[in-house]
């Protein structure tokens, strides 16, 4: 009995210490690494929008599944030299607050439309989605095609493959999400972050590394819910389709990874990936395929120079056809 008491006491004390440590660390981070952009109300929650640079068209970055926009800040900084560029955090990611209801694809596009309107981001837009962000970008295009002047798909998920493959991956997300949330609230993620990050994080400039650590060290309730809700709450009729030529003569660059493995495409879909990327390239009559021969799936993170260079090319083509 006494032994059980002391075990319970020790575990409780350890958990309480972790909670106190995490809360104190977040209070220290707040003034050091505040949200670089604005928090804008959309419905019952607020989303973080960060825009830098000047010029037209506006480049809009869309991060991958369950991923905050901070992962694309290195590319955003480079693009801002040439034009206006914005990134945003979807509900429950990065600096954005979680929504009070499940967010299907329609809801995520609603959020994006409201965010752009209330944030004063006008077109024309060059969409730059990475990975699962491509599903949202194509759904946005289907709703507002006149606002989109071009696209750069950074190893973007082809919708048919994404919706078919997602059910195989989601059980693991459901299983691990409570562990992630507990790890965040107890400060465990913060403790291991300094030595358990990909090499591209270590190469970030000090200010961007500080923002990365601040964002990834605290709880993100949308990490699993972002892709899970999109799949579960999206009717088949609402799923974007890849119809050859649907982008017309809008310039399109499709960048696909050249290295398998790492934090990338599940192995069982790797063989299908090149064909899916080729289908995406056929969406425009003016398209180009670029293979990032030295990069895994997170190309914008591993090679922001390549991504920003391709974005600049599309921006130049949009300007030339004004």
What percent of the chain lies above the pLDDT cut of 70? 94
Predicted confidence (pLDDT) at residue 8 exceeds the cutoff of 90 = no
Please report whether residue 12 resides in a domain: no
Question: What dihedral angle (degrees, nearest 10) is formed by the CA atoms of 19, 23, 25, 29?
Answer: 150
User: What pLDDT is recorded for position 35?
Assistant: 93
Predicted confidence (pLDDT) at residue 68 exceeds the cutoff of 80 = yes
- pLDDT confidence of 1, banded at 50, 70, 90? low
What is the number of structural domains in the chain? 1
- Which residue's entry shows tokens 């691990």? 176
Predicted confidence (pLDDT) at residue 155 exceeds the cutoff of 70 = yes
Please report whether residue 292 resides in a domain: yes
- pLDDT confidence of 96, banded at 50, 70, 90? very high
Please report whether residue 299 resides in a domain: yes
**For the segment 229-251, what is each residue's pLDDT rounded down to a tens digit?**
999 999 999 999 999 999 999 99
Predicted confidence (pLDDT) at residue 23 exceeds the cutoff of 90 = no
**For the segment 255-280, what is each residue's pLDDT rounded down to a tens digit?**
999 998 877 788 888 999 999 999 99
User: What pLDDT is recorded for position 21?
Assistant: 74
Please report whether residue 2 resides in a domain: no
Please report whether residue 170 resides in a domain: yes
User: What pLDDT is recorded for position 3?
Assistant: 66
**For the segment 281-305, what is each residue's pLDDT rounded down to a tens digit?**
999 999 999 999 999 999 999 999 9
Predicted confidence (pLDDT) at residue 15 exceeds the cutoff of 70 = no
Q: Domain residues for 78? A: 33-320
- pLDDT confidence of 10, banded at 50, 70, 90? low
- Which residue's entry shows tokens 């006149």? 146
**Stretch among 7-21, 183-197, 227-241 having the lowest mean pLDDT:** 7-21
User: What pLDDT is recorded for position 79?
Assistant: 98
C-alpha span between 166 and 265 (Å, rounded): 11
Contact call for residues 128 and 311 (beta carbons, < 8 A): yes
Contact call for residues 128 and 101 (beta carbons, < 8 A): no
Here the CATH number for the domain that contains residue 205 is: 3.40.50.1820
Predicted confidence (pLDDT) at residue 215 exceeds the cutoff of 90 = yes
Contact call for residues 317 and 150 (beta carbons, < 8 A): yes
Please report whether residue 259 resides in a domain: yes
User: What pLDDT is recorded for position 169?
Assistant: 74
Please report whether residue 122 resides in a domain: yes
User: What pLDDT is recorded for position 12?
Assistant: 65
Q: How many CB atoms lie within 10 A of CB 296?
A: 21
Question: What does the pLDDT average to over 183-197?
Answer: 87
Please report whether residue 1 resides in a domain: no
Cα separation of the two ends of the chain = 79
* Buried-state track 207-246, b at ≥16 Cβ within 10 A, e below 16: ebeebbbbbbbbbbbbbbbbbbbbbebbeeeebbebeeeb
- Across all residues in the chain, what is the average pLDDT? 91
- The number of angstroms, rounded, from the C-alpha of 208 to the middle of its chain's C-alpha atoms is 16
Q: How many CB atoms lie within 10 A of CB 125?
A: 25
Question: What does the pLDDT average to over 135-142?
Answer: 97
Alpha helices (runs of H) in the chain, residue ranges in sequence order: 2-32, 73-79, 105-118, 133-143, 159-185, 188-193, 199-202, 206-217, 222-232, 267-270, 273-281, 299-302, 304-320
299 φ, ψ to 5°?
-65, -40
C-alpha span between 103 and 231 (Å, rounded): 9
User: What pLDDT is recorded for position 25?
Assistant: 80
């Amino acid at each position: 009995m006494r032994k059980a008491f002391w075990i319970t006491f020790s575990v409780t004390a350890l958990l309480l210490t972790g909670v106190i440590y995490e809360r104190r660390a977040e209070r220290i981070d707040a003034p050091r690494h505040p949200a670089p952009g604005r928090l804008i109300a959309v419905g019952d929650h607020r989303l973080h929008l960060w825009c830098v640079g000047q010029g037209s068209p506006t480049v809009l970055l869309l991060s991958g599944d369950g991923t905050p926009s901070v992962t694309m800040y290195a590319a955003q900084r480079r693009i801002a030299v040439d034009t206006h560029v914005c990134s945003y955090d979807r509900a429950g990611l990065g600096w954005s607050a979680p929504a009070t209801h499940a967010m299907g694809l329609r809801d995520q596009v609603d959020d994006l439309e409201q965010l752009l309107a209330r944030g004063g981001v006008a077109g024309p837009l060059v969409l730059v989605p990475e990975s699962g962000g491509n599903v949202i970008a194509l759904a946005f295009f289907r709703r507002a095609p006149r606002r989109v002047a071009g696209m750069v798909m950074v190893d973007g998920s082809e919708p048919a493959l994404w919706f078919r493959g997602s059910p195989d991956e989601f059980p693991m997300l459901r299983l691990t999400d409570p562990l992630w949330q507990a790890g965040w609230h107890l400060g465990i993620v913060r403790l291991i972050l300094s030595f358990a990050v990909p090499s591209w994080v270590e190469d970030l400039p000090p200010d961007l590394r500080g923002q990365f650590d601040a964002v990834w060290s605290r709880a993100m309730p949308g990490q699993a819910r972002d892709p899970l809700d999109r799949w579960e709450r999206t009717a088949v009729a609402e799923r974007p389709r890849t119809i050859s030529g649907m982008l017309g003569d809008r310039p399109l660059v499709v960048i696909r990874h050249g290295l398998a493995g790492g934090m990338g495409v599940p192995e069982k879909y790797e063989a299908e990936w090149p064909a899916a990327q080729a289908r995406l390239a056929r969406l425009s009559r003016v398209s180009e395929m670029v293979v990032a021969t030295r990069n895994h799936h997170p190309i914008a993170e591993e090679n922001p120079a390549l991504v920003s260079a391709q974005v600049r090319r599309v921006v130049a083509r949009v300007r030339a056809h004004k």
